[in-house]
Amino acid sequence: MEVVGEKRNSSHSFSRSSENSGVYDGRPSRGAFKKYSMLKTIRHACVWISPARKYSLASKLVKKGKKLELLDQKYPIDEWTNVTKRISQYPGKNLHLKPDHPLSLIRQRIADYFYKAYPNKVGNPLFSVHDNLRPIVTVEQNFDSLLVPKDHPSRSKTDCYYVNSETLLRAHTTAHQAELILMGLNNFLIIGDVYRRDDINSTHYPVFHQVDGVRLRTQDEIFQNVEDSKNLRIFEHRESDSPDKQGCHTLEATKIMEHELKTVLVGLVKSFFGQDVEYRWVDEYFPFTHPSWELEILKHDEWLEVLGCGIVRQEILQKSGAADRIGWAFGAGLERLAMLFYSIPDIRLFWSEDPGFLNQFKVEDYHSRIVYKRVSIYPPSSSDISFWLPNETEFTPNDFFEIVRDIGGDIIEQVALIDDFVHPKNNRRSHCYKITYRHMERTLTKFEVNTIHRKIGRAVQDKFNVEIR
């Protein structure tokens, strides 16, 4: 579904590559990328020994001159390519658009909330919804257009799935913010699938879904209900930012936008978790907004992030043809909201085709209150694998996670680095991982687990030349 809302009157022109059209953030838990837009400065635990040997999915393909095919389009590959065969099968699945899927119900609830919160003069929705944009974007879209520094860790191959050095599977739907503003849109939601290399556990999956929202306002719109507003302005000229605002914005304009933003987002959270939900705002940092905040709710005696937001960096608006406006933006993860709202315990369930799971979400009204009921609980099976790393290699835990995902698929419940040991005499480094296997729909046999575990061991030997202990 793509609903076209009101556009800004604009005389500027724009161009956009058809293969890179697209969407803004949120995720099911903390990590190098956070809810509002992947751009946290938390690094994954890495072991950097030497760049002499680099694991790259593309290494053999480059020699053969092959290309990577995604969504019926072929892309050249290079030393940056790290999209695995398994990950290449996810674009186009669009769980958020599947009827009677919990992510689709969450999507519809969010869109309906903004439709009702922001009608135009004749009662039609101000916000347009863009939920079927291609997830293959350029580095410019994913990072540069959002002022992400060139040396920011979120650009790393460790964190992202690169098609090649110029193209990647979007790491956040924020990647489409600038292009939609350039099209003249003032109020829009972007919803879609995003891709990040991350941990393996019940709240992390390499593919998840986000909603991003943006609202831009002119000076007249901001101050229309303020008495004696003739002398109030959006902009002023100061050399640097303060904790409360950007240097180019007046405090009055910033505070009005902040109040509107926080009010509408608290209302969104209350529409899910009730009017009595306890919440708090936490100051945050994102490269593309300032000031910035995260909204947390108290759930099961724990404060949990549900979304991030802020005042859009004016430089982004200037480059996108909206220099006369000020804007706010937010991002949230659909899986996180769905897991909290429907009490879904494992993120892998969203990819299940088990009728026992999906039939629970076949409802006539997407506002229906549903509490997920476990169909059955199958026992887990855990096995450890440890190996010595070669002296000359570049290795990160995420590289090992990719191998495990490719071979084990969704029967892998969790992978944890349980020991990182450096021998005191020869300085060799050893890793030990605990892999937990659990099928969502049946009990795994010991033979099945052992077979997969041996395949993982052989694969990590072949890829990284490790020595199994």
Exposed / middle / buried, residue 447 (Cβ in 10 Å: 0-12, 13-18, 19+) = exposed
pLDDT tens-place string over residues 204-237:
999 999 999 999 999 999 999 888 778 899 999 8
Question: Does residue 333 fall inside a structural domain?
Answer: yes
Residue 85 has pLDDT above 50, yes or no: yes
Give the CA distances from residue 204 to residues 122, 128, 266, 396, in Å, rounded to whole numbers and listed in that order.
43, 29, 25, 17
Both 214 and 279 in one domain: the answer is yes
Tell me the average pLDDT of the chain. Answer: 86
Which among 286, 317, 342 is the end of a domain?
342
pLDDT (mean) for 325-332: 98
Do 94 and 173 lie in a common domain?
yes
Kindly state whether residues 140 and 86 are assigned to the same domain.
yes
| Between 19 and 169, residue with greater pLDDT | 169
Q: What number of residues does the chain have?
A: 469
Position 41 scores a pLDDT of: 30
Please check whether residues 108 and 61 belong to one and the same domain.
Answer: yes
pLDDT-derived band at 59 (thresholds 50, 70, 90) equals: very low
Asked whether residue 83 falls in the same domain as residue 209, the answer is yes
Cα distances (angstroms) measured from residue 248 to each of 148, 288, 326:
19, 15, 10
User: Are residue 386 and residue 438 in the same domain, yes or no?
Assistant: yes
**Is 27 within the bounds of a domain?**
yes
Domain boundary among 342, 361, 393: 342
Question: Whole-prediction pTM value?
Answer: 0.79
pLDDT at 25 over 70: no
Q: Is residue 274 part of a domain?
A: yes
Residue 162 belongs to domain spanning: 2-342
Q: Would you say residue 195 has pLDDT above 60?
A: yes
Beta strands 381-388 and 136-138: pairing type? unpaired
The CATH number of the domain where 107 resides is what? 3.30.930.10
Tokens of 93: 């699945």
In a domain, 371, yes or no: no
Asked if 45 and 152 sit in the same domain, the reply is: yes
Kindly state the helix (H) or strand (E) to which residue 128 belongs, with its residue range.
Answer: strand 128-130
Confidence category of residue 66, pLDDT binned at 50, 70, 90: confident
Residue 342 has phi, psi (to 5 degrees) of -100, 0
Residue 365 counted as domain residue: no
Instruction: Domain count for the chain, please give it.
Output: 2
Q: Is the pLDDT of residue 462 over 80?
A: yes
Q: Are residues 123 and 213 in the same domain?
A: yes
Predicted local confidence at residue 376, as pLDDT = 63
Most confident residue range from 36-45, 56-65, 241-250, 377-386: 241-250
Helix (H) or strand (E) holding 169: strand 167-169
Q: Is a pLDDT exceeding 70 seen at residue 38?
A: no
Residue 408's CATH number:
3.30.70.380
155 belongs to a structural domain = yes
Task: Give the residue from 313, 342, 371 where a domain finishes.
Answer: 342
Q: Do both 327 and 430 map to the same domain?
A: no
Residues 377 and 355: their CA atoms lie apart, in Å, by: 15
> What digits encode the pLDDT tens for the residues 262-298?
999 999 999 999 999 999 999 999 999 999 999 999 9
Question: Residue 460: is its pLDDT beyond 70?
Answer: yes
Q: Are residues 174 and 317 in the same domain?
A: yes
CB 181 within 8 A of CB 190: no
pLDDT at 11 over 70: no
Q: Is residue 366 part of a domain?
A: no
pLDDT tens readout for residues 133-160: 999 999 999 999 999 999 999 999 999 9
For the cut 60, the answer to whether the pLDDT of residue 1 exceeds it is no
Q: Is there a single domain that holds both residue 191 and residue 245?
A: yes
pLDDT at 65: 65
* 321 and 390 belong to one structural domain: no
Could you tell me if residue 289 is inside a domain? Answer: yes
Strand arrangement of the beta sheet that strand 381-388 belongs to: 412-422, 429-437, 381-388, 467-468
